[in-house]
Chains A and B, each alone.
Chain A
Amino acid sequence: MLARLRVFFRFQESGLLLVILALGVLLTVFAGKVRTPVFERAADGTRSRVFTTDATGERIPLTIEKNKFLNAQNLAQLAKDTSFIAVMAVGMAVVIIAGGIDLTVGAIYALASVVGALVLQRYGAEGLATTTSPMLGILLGAGACLGVACLCGLFTGGLIVALGVHPFIITLGGMAIFRGIAFVITKGQSVGAFPAAFRDFVRFEVGDGLSFVPLMTMLVVLIVGWIFLSRLAAGRRVYAVGGNELAARFSGIRVERVKLGVYLISGLCAGIAALLSLGYYGAATSGDGQGYELNVIAAAVVGGASLSGGRGSALGVVLGALIIQMISSGIVILGIDQNYSQIIIGSVVIAAVVLDHLNTWLARRRLTAATH
């Protein structure tokens, strides 16, 4: 038993799992109860409320009492919300491990969303191209969404490589440019009315309201990200560039190519999240994803990606995203004023960095104590 525990603690992400467990327990204990109506599912798949008749013969809706946090619906919601952030956080982790930073993710998310939405709208019920197959429209829309996101990533990555400027400056500018473009092409209006098949696909639910597609997308991105970072030569080069750029160059690694690649990956991940949001919410505006860069960088940092480069993992940042999202939804569940959420998330990021330093220090001390 003790040996097994030790193996668990040697596992890099065990600390994050413990934090998640602790947060879950805390939220469950302090969330309190909520009464929710009971639904039943008819044979044709439609849901309707269940009623009961009281003593006076009046029909009243049947409700049951649930824990505000620990119930199937809330957990499904948490899983869905986490998916969006986690997908982007995996891309951010790759950039951060390479020693960079990408502030454009929220803006790329918005721009990719509205471009995809404009294409999808043409093929939607009220669109101009209703005669063609909706499948083609969905593919074109998805392609436009992901393509624009990749182009944005290439644009920032290309500028960072070509000018040799700190990525913070370039992506800060890119953030404003991309969101501005999104605003200009939509004139600030919401774009909606997509082919129904697309929404139905992304909103496909299993069990009690668990959105299957965002969750699966997150798992796929996590697995691909994990394989990329830990098993592929390309991933090794990302760690090398982030760890020591000059030594990487002296080892024959094409540093420029690696840097361009990581911003492309980050852009693509923002595009994937944007595509999910299109299907899930059925509309897009230039204001989407405002402030996502904070949540995404927070997830990466909380998940153990080192801002000095060379350290981090895909699983870590996905767990980091879950922690950030648990805190966000915890604020709602515990009835704390929404306006505090940014303060709390900001504090969590700083706390994570402090903990990381503490952990490094402890590991050093353990190693030192073990020296004879």
Chain B
Amino acid sequence: MSAYLEFRKITKRFPGVLALDDVSFTVERGTCHALIGENGAGKSTLGKILAGVYTADSGQIMLEGRAIAPTSPLAARALGVAMVHQELAFCPNLSVAENLCLGDFPGRAGFVDRTALRARARTMLATVGADIDPDTLIGTLSTGREQLVQIAAAVGTGAQIIVMDEPTSSLSAAETADLFRLIRTLKARGLTLIYVSHRMEELFALCDHITVLRDGRHIATEPIPATQPARVVTQMIGRELRVHTPSHLTRDLGPVRLKVKNLSSPGSFQDINLTVRAGEIVGVAGIVGAGRSELVQAIFGLDPAVSGHISIDDHPLPLGSIAHALAAGLGLVPEDRKRQGLILGLNCRENTALAALPLLTRLGFVRRNAERALASRYAQRLRVKTPSLEALTAGLSGGNQQKIALAKWLARDCDVLLIDEPTRGVDVGAKAEIYQLLDELACEGKALLVVSSELPELIGLCRRILVLRAGRIAGEVSRAAFSEATLMQLMAGVNAAA
């Protein structure tokens, strides 16, 4: 008997990247099949080929023994394959019902039958147990609920295979639990799920099989019970990963570099007090919406409504001014590198030099040799993998883009670095390199304030962790007391007994 779904020698090229190289494996019906790999390993590309977003350069996809070659998401839908995207799957200005029926409005003579529209949407939402008013605008839904609507759209249109691309990357813990329950229900109904992620614990909790990709090549497909996380990590990165204690922890701290007193911003956070000393890495934890990104952006001068006091090296910093923040030696590596961190249409050299531009300028002219030297120095130090410094950052993998976003502020030689999600969407190998870099920076005497939603990351990296809850500091945990349980309790506002 032939397999339910089979990938045969799939190859796909993008400019500068061989995304998939001769990938073959099979997926069983009614299972949840994990696709894992570092960023740039090709896992999302493979999912998108199945869902018709991309077409393979060569190779075949066999569904129940028949070769299929969806050339568009619509064609894939007709074959029973749907994809749940990370973002921008819907029109945010239309209602849930309108989005659900976007391809096929019920109505007569061009007029939309609104009652039928709502009824159909309600039926579709009910199949995934979603309690969402069909008249809500998509744009006002949380990411988790929007994802539910996407799944409803997929199931409601008769999808047999659903591809999920990093579905939990911006979900809260409760939303993630709901999603997992739904996935198990769908599986019980005989649907097949392709689950693309790099969160190991999720895959082991949820999936039946795991396929590991590395540099576009198929490394292994194994049943989950037959493997362990450590084995998968080794398969992903092709070598053993060493866990090491950051060396900045053993050094003496310098004077206070960043001091924040009674910092408040209406609607975002209130009464924040914190200090970061030279050579120290301080973590900021909290659930989505606790005000973490808002806090670091306000310190950097991006929030005009902020009040309170900030001082750098004991000099007061005028609030709400990026120019003053820059002059005082502050730098911010933002949360979303594609939207806030990089100019994708400029090349690696230009992006690296962007924040340091005033230091590279003589009489208004960019000193081209100095710029090139600076860019290549940091590209080497951060081990950026790019064909050349003149290559556009749009063509780099997520990990390398993040390195450029970091290099931009290192090139400016900031003393106080605010880093929001240092490794979001970055593969395991690049993660380790970024942790080592942050350690080196602390050893050099820089003060680092690191925001992250990955607790193991903060626990591994920081000397102290501040926990934000609903815009206030709920507590501070020192290294000796670090544990995920302690931090979680502070983040959620429940005590250990509850």
- Residue among A233, A240, A252, A364 with most chain B CB within 10 A: A252
A131: CB under 8 A from chain B?
no
Which of the segments A82-90, A162-170, A242-250, A319-327 contacts the partner chain? A242-250
**A243 vs B350: C-alpha distance when bound (angstroms):** 12
**Chain B minimum-CB-distance residue to A227:** B365
Q: Quick one: given A364-B15, A371-B15, A371-B16, are A244 and B408 in contact (CB under 8 Å)?
A: no
Q: Which of A231, A234, A244 contacts B344 (CB 8 A)?
A: A244
**Per-residue interface assignment for chain A, residues 244 to 273, with 1 indicating a CB less than 8 Å from any chain B CB and 0 otherwise:** 101111111110000000000000000000
Q: Quick one: given A232-B365, A244-B344, are A252 and B323 in contact (CB under 8 Å)?
A: yes
Q: Quick one: given A236-B366, A311-B345, are A247 and B340 in contact (CB under 8 Å)?
A: yes
Whether B326 contacts A371 by the Cβ 8 Å rule is no
Whether B358 contacts A233 by the Cβ 8 Å rule is yes
Whether A250 contacts B365 by the Cβ 8 Å rule is no
A237: CB under 8 A from chain B?
yes
Q: Which of B17, B341, B345, B368 contacts A250 (CB 8 A)?
A: B341
Task: Identify 13 new A-B residue pairs, CB closer than 8 A, beyond the known A243-B345, A254-B323, A372-B18.
Answer: A231-B366, A233-B364, A233-B365, A236-B357, A243-B346, A247-B342, A252-B323, A252-B325, A252-B355, A253-B354, A364-B15, A367-B16, A368-B15
User: What are 6 A-B residue pairs whose CB atoms fall within 8 Å in the complex?
Assistant: A232-B365, A232-B366, A247-B342, A250-B341, A367-B16, A367-B395
**Per-residue interface assignment for chain A, residues 16 to 29, with 1 indicating a CB less than 8 Å from any chain B CB and 0 otherwise:** 00000000000000
B111: CB under 8 A from chain A?
no
B213: CB under 8 A from chain A?
no
Chain A residues contacting B343 (CB-CB under 8 Å) are: 239-240, 243-244, 247-248, 310
B382: CB under 8 A from chain A?
no
The 5 closest A-B pairs by CB, nearest first: A367-B15, A243-B343, A243-B345, A310-B345, A233-B361
Q: Which of A232, A243, A364, A372 contacts B364 (CB 8 A)?
A: A232
**A38 vs B358: C-alpha distance when bound (angstroms):** 60
Which B residues lie at the A interface, using CB under 8 A?
13-18, 302, 322-323, 325-326, 332, 334, 339-346, 350, 354-355, 357-358, 360-361, 364-366, 368, 395, 408
A369: CB under 8 A from chain B?
yes
**A236 vs B13: C-alpha distance when bound (angstroms):** 32
**Chain B minimum-CB-distance residue to A237:** B357
Please give the distance in Å from B48's CB to the nearest CB on chain A. Answer: 16
- Residue among A232, A233, A253, A372 with most chain B CB within 10 A: A233
**Chain B minimum-CB-distance residue to A250:** B340
Please give the distance in Å from A223's CB to the nearest CB on chain B. Answer: 14
Q: What size tier do the contact residues of chain A reach?
A: 20 to 34
**A193 vs B131: C-alpha distance when bound (angstroms):** 79
Q: Which of B13, B334, B339, B358 contacts A369 (CB 8 A)?
A: B13
Whether B350 contacts A371 by the Cβ 8 Å rule is no
Q: Quick one: given A233-B364, A250-B334, A368-B15, are A240 and B323 in contact (CB under 8 Å)?
A: no
Chain A residues contacting B334 (CB-CB under 8 Å) are: 250
Which A residues lie at the B interface, using CB under 8 A?
231-234, 236-237, 239-240, 243-244, 246-254, 310-311, 364, 367-369, 371-372
Please give the distance in Å from B193's CB to the nearest CB on chain A. Answer: 30
Chain A residues contacting B365 (CB-CB under 8 Å) are: 231-233
Whether A247 contacts B14 by the Cβ 8 Å rule is no
**Chain B minimum-CB-distance residue to A310:** B345
**Chain B minimum-CB-distance residue to A233:** B361
- Residue among B325, B343, B350, B408 with most chain A CB within 10 A: B343
Whether A371 contacts B354 by the Cβ 8 Å rule is no
Chain B residues contacting A244 (CB-CB under 8 Å) are: 339, 342-345
Please give the distance in Å from B343's CB to the nearest CB on chain A. Answer: 4
Chain B residues contacting A251 (CB-CB under 8 Å) are: 354-355, 408
Whether B360 contacts A233 by the Cβ 8 Å rule is yes
Please give the distance in Å from B385's CB to the nearest CB on chain A. Answer: 14
**A244 vs B302: C-alpha distance when bound (angstroms):** 16
Q: Quick one: given A236-B350, A237-B357, are A250 and B302 in contact (CB under 8 Å)?
A: yes
**Chain B minimum-CB-distance residue to A253:** B354
**A236 vs B350: C-alpha distance when bound (angstroms):** 8
Please give the distance in Å from B11's CB to the nearest CB on chain A. Answer: 11
**Chain A minimum-CB-distance residue to B412:** A252
Whether B16 contacts A247 by the Cβ 8 Å rule is no
- Residue among A239, A249, A367 with most chain B CB within 10 A: A367
Chain A residues contacting B322 (CB-CB under 8 Å) are: 249, 252
Chain A residues contacting B339 (CB-CB under 8 Å) are: 244, 246-247
**A364 vs B392: C-alpha distance when bound (angstroms):** 12
- Residue among A233, A250, A371 with most chain B CB within 10 A: A250
Chain A residues contacting B358 (CB-CB under 8 Å) are: 233
Chain B residues contacting A254 (CB-CB under 8 Å) are: 323
Q: Which of B13, B344, B357, B360 contacts A368 (CB 8 A)?
A: B13
Chain B residues contacting A248 (CB-CB under 8 Å) are: 343, 354
Chain A residues contacting B366 (CB-CB under 8 Å) are: 231-233, 236
**A253 vs B346: C-alpha distance when bound (angstroms):** 15
Q: Quick one: given A233-B360, A368-B14, are A243 and B344 in contact (CB under 8 Å)?
A: yes
Chain A residues contacting B345 (CB-CB under 8 Å) are: 239, 243-244, 310-311
**A367 vs B339: C-alpha distance when bound (angstroms):** 25
Whether B16 contacts A239 by the Cβ 8 Å rule is no
**Chain A minimum-CB-distance residue to B353:** A236
**A188 vs B368: C-alpha distance when bound (angstroms):** 52
**A251 vs B343: C-alpha distance when bound (angstroms):** 10
Whether A233 contacts B342 by the Cβ 8 Å rule is no
**A236 vs B14: C-alpha distance when bound (angstroms):** 28
**A310 vs B323: C-alpha distance when bound (angstroms):** 23
Chain B residues contacting A311 (CB-CB under 8 Å) are: 345
**Chain B minimum-CB-distance residue to A234:** B364
Chain B residues contacting A310 (CB-CB under 8 Å) are: 343, 345-346
**A234 vs B15: C-alpha distance when bound (angstroms):** 31
**A88 vs B16: C-alpha distance when bound (angstroms):** 38
Chain A residues contacting B323 (CB-CB under 8 Å) are: 252, 254
**A147 vs B227: C-alpha distance when bound (angstroms):** 75
**A330 vs B483: C-alpha distance when bound (angstroms):** 78
Please give the distance in Å from B376's CB to the nearest CB on chain A. Answer: 18
Chain A residues contacting B344 (CB-CB under 8 Å) are: 243-244
Please give the distance in Å from A248's CB to the nearest CB on chain B. Answer: 7
Whether A371 contacts B361 by the Cβ 8 Å rule is no
Please give the distance in Å from B398's CB to the nearest CB on chain A. Answer: 16
